[in-house]
Structure 1
Amino acid sequence: MRAFRPLAALLAVLATPALAKPAADPAQVVAAERAFAADGLALGIKQSFLKWSAPEAILFAPDPVKAQDLYGSRPDKANPPLVWWPVFAGISRGGDLGFTTGPATFDGKPSGWYFTVWARQADGGWKWVYDGGVPAAHGDAPPQGSAPVLLAPATGPSSYPEGAISAVKAAEARLAAKARTDVVAAYKTALLPQAHVMGSDQPPAATPQAVAAELARRPKAIRFSPLGGSVAVLGDLAWTYGDAAWEGGRGHYVRIWRHDRDGWRIAFDEILEAPPPKA
């Protein structure tokens, strides 16, 4: 797994009084997402994505690429309105890492579900480090402006970042080993009861019954290979991403891991299928 935040930088953030307070409010990342979405309409897609992405931010096009490189090379042009709003969100206890997800429309028509991972910057503001989504149906998604469902804080003890990094790597390895032969069994022990799972054309699964149905739509066996991510300064929340391959297809995964008393469990899991190569 690559691209984890350097330990020295993490310890420096941990020493910052503003980030050392417990029980950070997820409203911070919800507000950042809404401001990003508002700028999408005011500034256009290119300029808003450049403004709100961190220097290290990535997205899949179809493989990992830095957002600043991708959007920086694109010409400025008018686009139909892209609108999105958060309906599920969470934040680390130290207030340095968070996420939101929700429905999106393009030119007034449903276009799928987005997922954004946010990292607090040295100046106290927020920038996203990952942005992506899947073309899933909206289903009965809450309307724009609704209060998002919030992920509960982690219940596990705080830990130093290097220990958390090792633990997340181990959790990813256990999941990957099981998923090579049985995806459903692999996720059964790795997911939180309140986990959200998406990747098909169906609305994101947010209940145990819906999650079971969503996992059943996935290939029976998937080969996961980690590529990167980062861990929160208090060792309670992490995001990871990597390659995913299965018989007849490939793509990528993105996950949110939460550290509870019984170990690291997945709060959010997304698989994005890459389009087949052009003939």
Structure 2
Amino acid sequence: MKKIIYTVLAASLSLSAFAQKADGTTKSLVNAEKAFAEAATKNGTREAFVKYAASDAIVFRPNPVNAKTFYATAPDMKNLNWTVNYARVARSGDLGFTSGSYVVDGEPKSYGHYLSIWRAKEGKWEYILDLGAETNRPLVNVAPNFKEPKDHYSPKFATDKEIKASRDIIYTTEKTLNTMLKTHGASAFAGFLNPDAQLMFPGTDLIVGKDKIQAFNNRMIDKITLKTTSADKALGGDIAYTYGIATIDYKTDLRESFHYVFIWERQADFSWNITTQLFTLAVR
């Protein structure tokens, strides 16, 4: 009997480790995300969000806070469910992101988008950023979009100075975007969006496509300014992210502050475009 118990326990531990296994593929990241969601439903959000978090992970609840610190005392929930429908992993396999929709099955129910950024460490995936944007109704179902890296490349001897210089390119790109936003309004995003970019904004369904995002911006936004908090880039040089505070003046004479996360993707000409955006209301 003891042998059976030990065998079952060992298998359970093995499956738990496998659930977070990072092997440089998008498939492995999607598997980690799905296992994370299942753990939250089965064992509760407190245990799951601590288990899958990096030591320096940040969650926006609604303002940024260390994930492990927050979930050490946060109310436990087993009625949070989410579905991943978009995922990418950098060619270096050290950075990836997932997004999708969530439902809190409470009274009343609540719905929204989420975006998580993941880092591979010691062969397993850990999330380093997680935030959501609430909507007022269930979101339209979206077909899964999981794309594998085009190849696998990671510099073996990159120095701290080279990594910083590489990261500074992202800061400079977002600074340029912010300058353009100040002079041209939200229409400036047009020069920084991928054709298939996606936007997650509070109260709306997922908006996919540069033209549709610009139509939303032109309809809703008068002015927008960005204040970058942090940025990082995958070692493979193809994916990066930024996050910070966005101040939006609507065309209805209303101003609101948001936390934002942008996912950036390097283009063939070595410029950078935004492939994913999520805004969530900030509390001041």
Equivalence for 2:118:
118
**Pair 1:84–1:35, CA change in 2 (3 A):** same
Greater Cα offset, 212-221 or 234-243: 212-221
**Normalization by structure 1: what TM-score?**
0.80
Equivalence for 1:265:
273
Q: Report the RMSD for the aligned CA atoms in angstroms.
A: 2.5
CA distance in 2, matches of 1:177, 1:154: 32
Maintained 8 Å contact 1:59/1:132:
yes
Equivalence for 2:131:
132
Pick aligned residue for 1:213 from 212, 215, 233: 215
Greater Cα offset, 53-62 or 91-100: 53-62
Equivalence for 1:150:
146
- SS across alignment from 2:93: coil
CA distance in 1, matches of 2:150, 2:185: 25
Provide, for residues 232-267 of structure 1, a one-character-per-residue CA deviation record: whole Å limited to 9, x for no partner: 111211111011123422121101111112311111
- Look up the equivalent residue of 2:65 and give its one-letter code: V
Say how many residue pairs are matched: 248
Equivalence for 2:99:
101
Equivalence for 2:85:
87
CA distance in 2, matches of 1:176, 1:129: 25
Q: CA deviation at 1:140?
A: 2.8
Q: Between Structure 1 and Structure 2, which shows a larger proportion of strand residues?
A: 2
Q: CA deviation at 1:151?
A: 4.8
**Normalization by structure 2: what TM-score?**
0.79
Unpaired segments ≥5 residues, structure 1: 1-18
Higher relative contact order (CA 8 A, sep 6+): 1
* Aligned residue runs from structure 1 range 189-228, under 5 A: 189-228=191-230
Pick aligned residue for 2:166 from 161, 164, 174: 164
Provide, for residues 128-176 of structure 1, a one-character-per-residue CA deviation record: whole Å limited to 9, x for no partner: 001111113544314xxx6x21357479x98853342121111100111
- SS across alignment from 2:164: helix
Equivalence for 2:9:
none
Unpaired segments ≥5 residues, structure 2: 1-21, 156-161, 250-254
**Pair 1:95–1:216, CA change in 2 (3 A):** same
Q: Between Structure 1 and Structure 2, which shows a larger proportion of helix residues?
A: 2
